[in-house]
Amino acid sequence: MNYYAKKQENTTALIYARKMLIEALKNNNEGQEAESYYNIAQFQRKLNVKDSAFYYYNKSKKLFLQRKDSLQLGKTLFQLSIIESDFGSYAESDSLAVLTLKYLNGRNVNYIAATYNCLGINSKKQFLYDDAISYYEAAIKISKNKTGINIYKNNIANVYKELKNYPKAILIFEDLLKETEIYKRTKARVLDNLAHIKMLNNSKENFLQDFLQAASIREKENDYFGLIASYGNLSDYFKEKDKVKSLFYAIKMYEMAKKEMALNGLLEAIDKVVILQTPQKAIKYYKESIFLRDSLQIVETKRQYKFAKIKYNYEEEEKQKLKFKTLAAESKLIALEENNQKKNLLILGIVFIAVLLFIVYRRKQQHKKRILQEKYNTETRIAKRLHDELGNDIYNAITKVLNPKFKIEEIVNDLDKIYLQTRSISHENDSIETGENFEAYFRALVANYNSDECKIMLKDLASINLSKLNKEKQIVVYRVFNELFVNMKKHSKASLVVLSCKKTNNTIEMKYIDNGVGFKENAIILKNGLQNMETRIKSINGTINFENKSDKGLQVTFNFKK
């Protein structure tokens, strides 16, 4: 397997990885099984089968967690974070990246740097440019890999380009060109980016040579995707100077993009050609553009649907396994109870002292039953939520899948809603990590509920130093805000949430504000989750105040002593 991996024959390497998995399962070798799942995922990712890679990374993650192999678990979480980012799930990707940093715990600095780079990419794609720069700089600071550092610097320059801070971007690119240990492909990318920024900055320098040099390097290195960008920039350069040359490079871009099946590059090339060609010749390209845009939308929808289905199936599979384990444990416990009762009845018929021992034993059993009843009540509550909140949604989704008149996008939205509801129920009953890492854990909670539909902003969270609170207060803070976020997701229809924090003397104030619909008729109705909030806050001698304006949002202020 390693031989074919080094030769980058990933299809053959994948076959041997699957054989290793079969051998591991046959020998009940958990360590080899975990490694095999990870290797299968790695080769599938390299073959661009990212949805299947996601499934096998999750399988390996579970085993690495059981084996307490934190280093390998950190690497696996990093790969999952990259895939979530590629599919546009930036909040989920951020959450996994935070966990990656936790489990790597300072080990393998290049993986840590790559994780910061992933956080930077997520921020840039969400137009959070200042955050993106901070993450890229953190990656540069910790990385020991020269090639990686050059990539992170290139990413920072591109952020400055988006911010239209062209002088800063130019300085970074020029510094990169001075590097002696720079790969040819990286050099070509830097030259092309530098020339493009100079063109945007209306530089009077002769940057045409940079464009041409970058294209020349890419031709020699067979960097065909890089050539698509070079031809596009050259077409833009000649657009106002020489329309014939501009059209020449636009057509070269079109041909290269078509050869490499790069749909986005092909659409961009067609747009350039249509502007430069005569109307009679442009019509052919215009028709092709319409067809490609429709095809691209269908492909992306199918890709997102397949990924969502794999995530859902994996979680359902894990739930079924947990259910069977629970049933097996209950059966074993029932059998044990019956056996003990028979023994006690036999002892009762022999001597009086046995009766006393039996009474003591029975009291212990009653205590156990009370504990089991409490567990049963908890399971009943969870089951009721699963039935009430998920049952109808799952049935509706199945109905839509079976009915061809419903669009795939609508089915994907339904599955995404079911997935978010399932995660919400899971979060409400999860154990909570307390102690020195609590602030990062709390930020991960916020990241889980942050989405394109509803942005959550944190203000001065670091000022209250959540990690220094005692365990009971950390648990209350986590549960209270989880309840608020769940309420926001279910009912408020908010598009913006602000969580602001303030410390005055020895008192901490945490304020939740959203722009949702608020409570009906300005009435604060404390029941279920909201009632739980008030009970929890009172347990730490804190206070909570609700300010509600119907259709204008909700404000909740939470105060407690540090």
Q: What is the mean pLDDT of residues 482-498?
A: 87
Q: Read off the tokens for 433.
A: 């990590």
Tell me the pLDDT tens digit for each residue of 133-146.
999 999 999 998 88
Counting every residue, how long is the chain? 562
Q: Is 432 exposed, middle or buried (0-12, 13-18, 19+ CB in 10 A)?
A: middle
Give residue 370's pLDDT band: very low, low, confident or very high (50, 70, 90): very low
Query: Collapsing DSSP states into helix, strand and coil, what is residue 223?
Result: coil
Give residue 292's pLDDT band: very low, low, confident or very high (50, 70, 90): low
Q: How many CB atoms lie within 10 A of CB 498?
A: 15
The per-residue pLDDT of the chain, averaged, comes to: 81
DSSP structure string for 324-368: HHHHHHHHHHHHHHHHHHHHHHHHHTT-HHHHHHHHHHHHHHHHH
Query: Which residues, 6 or more positions from 450, have their beta carbon under 8 angstroms from its beta carbon?
Result: 91, 94, 456
What's the one-letter identity of residue 106?
A: G
Which letter does DSSP use for residue 501 in this model? E
Q: Given this model, what pLDDT does residue 477 score?
A: 92
Nearest to 461, CA basis, from 506, 499, 433, 497? 499
Asked whether the CA dihedral 512, 518, 521, 523 is positive or negative, the reply is negative
Q: What is the mean pLDDT of residues 332-344?
A: 66
More confident residue, 184 or 291: 184
pLDDT higher than 70, residue 114: yes
Rounded distance between C-alpha atoms, residue 248 and residue 309, angstroms: 44
Q: Using an 8 Å Cβ cutoff, are 160 and 176 in contact?
A: no
Specify the pTM.
0.50
Rounded distance between C-alpha atoms, residue 65 and residue 460, angstroms: 33
Secondary element (H or E) of residue 217: helix 208-220
What's the one-letter identity of residue 530?
A: L
Rounded distance between C-alpha atoms, residue 82 and residue 491, angstroms: 31
Q: Read off the tokens for 526.
A: 């404390």
Rounded distance between C-alpha atoms, residue 45 and residue 41, angstroms: 6
Q: What is the CA radius of gyration of the chain?
A: 29
Rounded distance between C-alpha atoms, residue 344 and residue 349, angstroms: 9
